[in-house]
């Protein structure tokens, strides 16, 4: 069988996610862990069969005989249960990692509990460790507890209750289990080989942590997220927490690298970093979900980054520990998911100029400020410097939010977000009585506004376009009213929504990022976040029933566990791109928030971004 044969690779959306707030693992429906970087998300992989079915490495626990599979997360947790039903019986594999610093059990252990609930089942175990993306020489030896594998810098101890064999660089074993019996398999990673732990207590404390942490409301509560989308919102919150690094508070865009936007093509990127552009929408989602601690930790993290770098040096993305050196490299030894090459580590977009980043940072600061977070003198000095820098460079071209690799342009969204940086800077300075050159800021804000209205809106198209001098459309036009640049009732806003619906929307719910050439070969799927932006724009334009219908249709494309990738193929429904994607799940949370607000639900804090007190956000039947 060829490694590019699709049968060797489950669909992207078939995977489940577990993690410990420092790293994550992807679990296939057959019980195979096919992706596991260690010790952190951005670290080299130990298991990466998802990127090369033959050479990547995997860790499987499952039946020998043919089976049917059912999977679920224990309610309100990130503990995964996979039930296999064979002709002879049924077994359940429970996968989890204790959250870092939240229990008394070592975080560097992947727990796999095998329980037989009916009959008897023959099962097998296979571990094929491939350290450092398969580049490190691996040695394996049997021990009295199982088998120890060592690479260049990392090692794993597979603790097993059954006898194991070591052959050809792989660890394997098989046995049978009967109803009522339970076996534990522990993958102890570097630093946890000899740590004392009680697996049952680790599971109990992990379940307790997640159920105590997660958003919860009673059916009678006036929850802003109430509705048929409540469960997807809760799952999105749990995904975002898994992508949040326990030490820094930074949130990864996704736990994976190089899952393709175009299967078999070159649109394969490493997303295991934090993009500052996510800040505003992320903070809004976290604050309204009641996870103020996470929002504050994330806020403090990126404010520290702003202190470390002068505004001109602020990067669009950073490592989860604040690393700035994210050199993009290609892994020559991996074939890629279904032959999608190159497989990349690092991300060259870190070196781009993306002016929208500054506006998104100010959106986040404003969101925290509106929720009662005061800025000290040092924090305000950093914000003042950013706004002053934007005042100087707003009229220069940049790479834009989509990080096109075809050269810098005058992107309309970048200009709008420069306007946002000035607008929110003025609002925060005024409300907080901070020293600021308000007159010059106000003058520049109006210059940007006039420039965008003159050059970014095309009368012939009847819409805001992607960049100056083109008639190409961009889904970011849906954000023009959301960030307050123009009101929703403005004809230019409604014209942009209509034009995007006509040009970028497939099957009423799938929204592409843009039309036109972006300097790369191949096509991509519809962007989930952009589909959420359309829902938001419709809801806040008073078209609430239409927004609700489209949102509910979009949610049908989440996988059965509630996870979603960066993109969806409108024709097949396949998930594309890195998975699960933080921005997609943030979009789901915020769309549910806007729909709830438009339907008369209230939030504990200020109105969501883009809604001014007294705005006639209509209810047309929802």
**pTM for the model:** 0.96
pLDDT tens per residue, range 99-127: 999 999 999 999 999 999 999 999 999 99
> What CA–CA distance (Å, rounded) separates 17 from 243?
10
39 prior amide bond cis, ω within 30: yes
CA dihedral in degrees (366, 286, 35, 204; nearest 10)?
A: 150
Helix (H) or strand (E) holding 450: helix 438-455
The answer on pLDDT for 258 being more than 60 is yes
Q: Which residues, in sequence order, are CB contacts of 229 under 8 Å at separation 6+?
A: 551, 552, 555, 588, 591, 592, 595
57: DSSP letter: -
Domain 60-213 in CATH 2.70.98.50: yes
- Return d(Cα 607, Cα 55) in angstroms, integer: 51
Report the Cα 127 to chain-centroid distance in Å.
Answer: 28
Residue-level pLDDT at 2: 35
Q: Could you read off the pLDDT of 522-536 as tens digits, one per residue?
A: 889 999 999 999 999
- Taking only the tens place, the pLDDT of each residue in 463-512 is 999 999 999 999 999 999 999 999 999 999 999 999 999 999 999 999 99
Report how far Cα 166 is from the mean position of its chain's Cα atoms.
Answer: 37
Distances (CA, A) of 470 to 253, 412, 463, 465, 492: 30, 11, 12, 7, 17
CATH architecture label of 247-598 = Alpha/alpha barrel (1.50)
Indicate whether 220 pLDDT > 50. Answer: yes
**Closest-CA residue to 601 (of 619, 584, 615):** 619
Provide DSSP, 22-66. Answer: S-EEEE-TTSEEEEEESSSTTSPEEE-TTT-TTTS--EEEEESS-
Q: Which of 582, 525, 523 lies closest to 11 in space, CA to CA? A: 525
For residue 601, pLDDT beyond 90: no
3-state secondary structure of 359: helix
**Band of residue 616 on the pLDDT scale cut at 50, 70, 90:** very low
Nearest to 281 by CA among 533, 525, 578: 533
Determine whether 30 is exposed, middle or buried from the number of CB atoms within 10 Å of its CB (0-12, 13-18, 19+). middle
Buried b vs exposed e over 156-176: b needs ≥16 C-beta within 10 Å?
Answer: bbbbbebebebeeebbbbebe
Convert the pLDDT of each residue in 151-166 to its tens digit: 999 999 999 999 999 9
pLDDT digits (tens, 9 = 90+) for 540-598: 999 999 999 999 999 999 999 999 999 999 999 999 999 999 999 999 999 999 999 88
Examine the pLDDT at 622 and tell me if it is beyond 90: no
Residue 621 has a pLDDT of 41
The two structure tokens encoding residue 247: 């030490």
- Looking at the chain, which residues constitute the CATH 1.50.10.10 domain(s)? 247-598
DSSP character at residue 374: P
What is the overall mean pLDDT for the chain? 94
Q: At 10, phi and psi to the nearest 5?
A: -60, 155
**Average confidence (pLDDT) over 7-22:** 96
Q: Tokens 């950093």 label which residue?
A: 382
Greater confidence (165 vs 613) lies with 165
Q: How far apart are CA 505 and CA 508, in angstroms?
A: 6
CB 81 within 8 A of CB 166: no
- ∠ Cα 115 121 123 (to 5°): 80
Distance between first and last Cα of the chain: 52
Q: How many CB atoms lie within 10 A of CB 430?
A: 11
Question: Residue 613 pLDDT more than 60?
Answer: no
Tokens of residue 549, six digits? 């219908």
pLDDT at 521: 86
Residue 603 binned pLDDT confidence (cut-offs 50, 70, 90): confident
Give the residue carrying structure tokens 């609430």.
544
CA-to-CA separations, 52 to 1, 95, 153, 398, 567, in angstroms, rounded: 13, 23, 22, 35, 21
Identify the bridge partners of residue 33 per DSSP, sorted by sequence position.
27, 59
User: Which regions of the chain carry the CATH code 2.70.98.50?
Assistant: 60-213
343 and 268 in contact (C-beta within 8 Å)? Answer: yes
Strand partners for 182: 115
Query: In this structure, what token pair is assigned to residue 42?
Result: 């951005």
> Looking at residues 386-402, what average pLDDT do you find?
97
Count CB atoms within 10 A of the CB of residue 230.
16
Beta bridge partners of 449: none
Bridge partners of 610, per DSSP, are none
Q: What is the pLDDT of residue 618?
A: 44
The helices-and-strands tally (H runs, E runs) of the chain is 12, 26
């Amino acid at each position: 069988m060829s490694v590019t044969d699709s049968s060797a690779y489950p669909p992207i959306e078939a995977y489940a996610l577990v993690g410990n707030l420092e790293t994550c693992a992807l679990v296939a429906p057959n019980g195979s862990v096919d992706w596991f970087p260690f010790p952190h998300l951005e670290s080299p992989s130990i298991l990466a069969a998802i990127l090369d079915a033959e050479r990547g490495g995997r860790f499987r626990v499952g039946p020998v005989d043919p089976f049917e599979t059912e999977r679920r997360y224990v309610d309100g947790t990130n503990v995964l249960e996979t039930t296999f039903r064979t002709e002879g019986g049924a077994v359940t594999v429970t996968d989890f990692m204790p959250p870092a610093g939240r229990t008394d059990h070592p975080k560097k252990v992947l727990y796999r509990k095998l329980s037989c609930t009916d009959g008897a089942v023959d099962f097998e175990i296979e571990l094929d460790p491939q350290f450092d993306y398969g580049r490190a020489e691996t040695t394996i030896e049997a021990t009295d507890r199982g088998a120890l594998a060592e690479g260049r810098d990392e090692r794993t101890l597979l603790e097993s209750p059954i006898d194991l064999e070591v052959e050809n660089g792989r660890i394997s074993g098989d046995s049978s289990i009967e109803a009522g019996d339970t076996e534990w398999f522990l993958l102890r990673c570097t630093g946890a080989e000899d740590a004392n732990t009680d697996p049952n207590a680790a599971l109990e404390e992990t379940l307790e942590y997640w159920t105590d942490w997660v958003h919860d409301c009673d059916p009678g509560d006036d929850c802003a997220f109430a509705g048929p989308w409540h469960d997807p919102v809760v799952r999105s919150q749990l995904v975002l927490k898994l992508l949040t690094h326990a030490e820094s508070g930074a949130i990864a865009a996704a736990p994976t690298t190089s899952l393709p936007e175009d299967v078999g093509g070159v649109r394969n990127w490493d997303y295991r970093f934090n993009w500052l552009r996510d800040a505003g929408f992320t903070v809004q989602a976290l604050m309204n979900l009641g996870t103020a601690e996470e929002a504050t930790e994330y806020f403090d993290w990126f404010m520290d980054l702003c202190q470390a770098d002068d505004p001109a040096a602020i990067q669009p993305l950073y490592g989860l520990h604040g690393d700035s050196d994210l050199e993009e490299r290609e892994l020559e030894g991996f074939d890629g998911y279904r032959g999608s090459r190159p497989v990349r580590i690092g991300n060259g977009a870190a070196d781009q100029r993306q002016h929208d980043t500054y506006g998104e940072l100010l959106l986040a600061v404003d969101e925290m400020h509106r929720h009662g977070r005061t800025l000290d003198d040092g924090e305000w000095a950093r914000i003042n410097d950013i706004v002053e820098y934007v005042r100087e460079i707003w009229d220069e071209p940049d790479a834009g939010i989509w990080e096109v690799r075809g050269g810098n342009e005058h992107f309309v969204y970048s200009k709008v977000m420069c306007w946002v940086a000035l607008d929110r800077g003025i609002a925060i300075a005024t409300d907080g009585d901070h020293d600021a050159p308000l007159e010059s800021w106000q003058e520049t804000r109006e210059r940007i506004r006039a420039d965008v209205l003159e050059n970014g809106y095309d009368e012939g198209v009847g819409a805001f376009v992607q960049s100056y001098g083109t008639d190409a459309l961009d889904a970011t036009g849906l954000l023009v009213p959301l960030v307050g640049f123009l009101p929703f009732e403005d004809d230019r806003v409604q014209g942009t929504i209509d034009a995007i619906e006509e040009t970028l929307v497939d099957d009423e719910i799938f929204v592409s990022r843009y039309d036109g050439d972006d300097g790369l070969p191949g096509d991509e799927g519809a962007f989930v976040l952009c589909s959420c932006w359309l829902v938001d724009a419709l809801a806040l334009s008073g078209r609430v029933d239409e927004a609700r219908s489209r949102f509910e249709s979009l949610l049908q494309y989440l996988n059965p566990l509630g996870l979603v990738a960066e993109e969806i193929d409108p024709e097949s429904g396949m998930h594309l791109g890195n998975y699960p994607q933080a921005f997609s799940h943030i979009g789901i949370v915020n769309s549910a928030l806007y729909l709830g607000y438009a339907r008369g639900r209230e939030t504990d804090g200020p109105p969501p971004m883009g809604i001014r007190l007294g705005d006639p956000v209509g209810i047309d039947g929802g």
